[in-house]
Amino acid sequence: MGFGGWFKRILLIVIACFVAFHVIVAALLVVWKTQPINNSMFMILYRLGNFAPVSQTWVDDNQISVNVKRAAIASEDANFVNHAGFDVQGIENAIKKNEKAGAISAGGSTISQQLAKNLFLYPNRSYFRKGEEALITLMIENMWTKERILLAYLNVAEFGKGVYGIEAAAQHYYHKSAAHLTKRQAASLIAMLPNPKYFEDNRNDRRLLNKTQIILRRMGAADLPDTE
């Protein structure tokens, strides 16, 4: 078999793997549209990399304080209820930062994009991963409601070493359920994103405290998605 034959075979294998991966993603999104999510690619990578279990407990919408929802939107994605998965202004700002840095140092990611990454991808930044993230984000936005997206995000987001989801975070840091988090506690937890492992050991870091204050000021203006 000549070079052309091998190239075609490899190309077909790559295409088949690409299609198969997205079929699996679509199938999982159908299941997770109504069922609890107790695993993600980030959780799998943590287990494999640390040979340790993760702490994560799924909680429904009525078991999460509205303070947490407002804090997440105020901090991560102020236009969450209005966009279709992508914040154009945020992307433009990220591109400018990346051009100045000469590398991918900022992502401009919405809550939907972060959820796509957490569920199915990996933390390393690359243009290929951003492309995959965009495609999966479109799938999520077209298959799930905004309320489901926010709920899933809060249940799988990383809040420390082996700590995933807002319920595990509330228990780990405040020894209470996510339903009873105060405004300041909710803002402090959300402020840990996207660098939770560092802030887990540096709870008095000035950057964390400043971000918490900013979130607290913005929470009142955060628009929540309509109830299903």
Confidence of residue 7 (pLDDT cuts 50, 70, 90): confident
Q: What is the pLDDT of residues 37-59, one digit of tens each?
A: 999 999 999 999 999 999 999 99
- pLDDT of residue 218 exceeding 50, the answer is yes
How far, CA to CA in Å, does 72 sit from each of 104, 109, 150? 23, 13, 9
Confidence of residue 80 (pLDDT cuts 50, 70, 90): very high
Is-contact 152 114, C-beta < 8 A? no
Structural domain spans, the chain? 1-32, 33-221
Tokens of 127: 């243009």
The CATH superfamily label for domain 33-221 reads: Biosynthetic peptidoglycan transglycosylase-like (1.10.3810.10)
pTM (two decimals)? 0.89
- pLDDT of residue 103 exceeding 60, the answer is no
Q: What is the pLDDT of residues 123-180, one digit of tens each?
A: 888 888 899 999 999 999 999 999 999 999 999 999 999 999 999 999 999 999 999 9
Is-contact 106 93, C-beta < 8 A? yes
Mean pLDDT of the chain: 91
The per-residue pLDDT for 165 is: 98
Residues 96-112 have a mean pLDDT of: 60
pLDDT more than 90, % of the chain: 79
Is-contact 175 212, C-beta < 8 A? no
The per-residue pLDDT for 141 is: 98
Confidence of residue 203 (pLDDT cuts 50, 70, 90): very high
